[in-house]
């Protein structure tokens, strides 16, 4: 093939390529045109269906107003429910705090009761009473008085904050401590503290059934404790019964041990 013939074929191919690109471009334009035409038809149809006359507009407006109203009702009901839930939540939070306090109180009462009945040794019982009054009630100065059966006077047998000798013996029925023991009623006054050993700020009688065993007289609370709490009053009630029972039991046990030793001594003497 000649050189000129090759050039003609080359140009012919180029022309064909150009032509086919032009055809492709025209096809795309046609396609785009069709797409735009469809969109135009859709917009026209939407316009036509939206409002062909004032009645349609009114109908549409009514529908929308109805929808707004129903949404507002829904919103009000949701807000009302939210308020109810918030209120319920607040009630639960309050109840939770109450239960926590109750749980705390029960733990204190359980531990106090458990410790008081954990021994039959009188000195241990007195030590536990001191621990309870210091650690659970928060008293700084106080004494445990026990009725001396021979003299019918209340003698301090254990104390904290001041030495035992600092607490005078008190006749039963006289003064705050004596009256408290006679009547069996807990006495609770101003928690600001007292230096008068005959005028405690609180006095808890120790009783087993109708028998008065003694009392716990509190004169001063710890620096950080400003007043008696409801839990303290529950502890007073617990101490009034359980501390008295613990003292009573430990005394009975000591007496029975002593008697047993005496009898054992006699038996040993007789059998030797």
Nearer to other proteins, 115 or 172 (CB): 115
Who's near 241: CB < 8 A, 6+ residues apart?
Answer: 207, 208
Nearer to other proteins, 62 or 99 (CB): 99
Which residues would be at the binding site for other proteins (CB under 8 A)?
A: 100, 103-104, 107-108, 110-112, 114-115, 118, 128, 131-132, 134-138, 140, 222-225
DSSP H/E element including 38: helix 3-50
Q: Count CB neighbours of 127 within 10 A.
A: 14
Min dist. Cβ of residue 204 to other proteins (A): 16
Min dist. Cβ of residue 120 to other proteins (A): 16
Min dist. Cβ of residue 201 to other proteins (A): 16
Nearer to other proteins, 39 or 104 (CB): 104
Min dist. Cβ of residue 209 to other proteins (A): 26
Q: What angle do CA 75, 77, 81 make, to 5 degrees?
A: 115
Q: What are phi and psi of 144, to 5 degrees?
A: -105, 120
Min dist. Cβ of residue 193 to other proteins (A): 14
Evaluate whether 176 touches 193 at the Cβ level (below 8 Å). Answer: no
Q: Of all residues in the chain, what percent are helix, strand and coil, respectively (each to 5)?
A: 65, 15, 20
Nearer to other proteins, 34 or 98 (CB): 98
Nearer to other proteins, 176 or 204 (CB): 204
């Amino acid at each position: 093939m000649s050189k000129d013939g090759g050039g003609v074929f080359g140009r012919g191919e180029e022309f064909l390529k150009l032509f086919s690109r032009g055809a492709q471009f025209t096809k795309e334009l046609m396609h785009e045109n069709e797409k735009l035409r469809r969109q135009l038809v859709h917009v026209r149809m939407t316009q036509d269906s939206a409002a062909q006359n004032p009645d349609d507009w009114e109908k549409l407006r009514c529908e929308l107003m109805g929808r707004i109203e129903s949404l507002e009702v829904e919103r009000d009901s949701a807000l009302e429910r939210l308020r109810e839930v918030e209120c319920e939540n607040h009630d639960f939070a309050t109840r939770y705090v109450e239960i926590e306090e109750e749980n705390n109180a029960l733990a204190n009462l359980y531990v106090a009761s458990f410790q008081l009945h954990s021994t039959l040794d009188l000195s241990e019982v007195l030590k536990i009473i001191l621990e309870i009054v210091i650690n659970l009630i928060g008293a700084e100065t106080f004494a445990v008085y026990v009725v001396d059966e021979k003299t019918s006077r209340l003698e301090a047998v254990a104390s904290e904050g001041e030495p035992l000798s600092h607490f005078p013996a008190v006749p039963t029925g006289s003064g705050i401590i004596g009256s408290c023991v006679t009547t069996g009623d807990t006495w609770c006054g101003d928690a600001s503290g007292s230096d008068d050993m005959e005028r405690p700020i609180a006095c808890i009688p120790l009783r087993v059934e109708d028998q008065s065993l003694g009392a716990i007289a509190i004169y001063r609370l710890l620096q950080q404790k400003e007043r008696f709490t409801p839990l303290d009053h529950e502890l007073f009630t617990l101490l009034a019964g359980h501390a008295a029972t613990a003292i009573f039991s430990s005394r009975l046990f000591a007496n029975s041990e002593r008697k047993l030793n005496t009898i054992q001594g006699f038996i040993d003497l007789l059998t030797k």
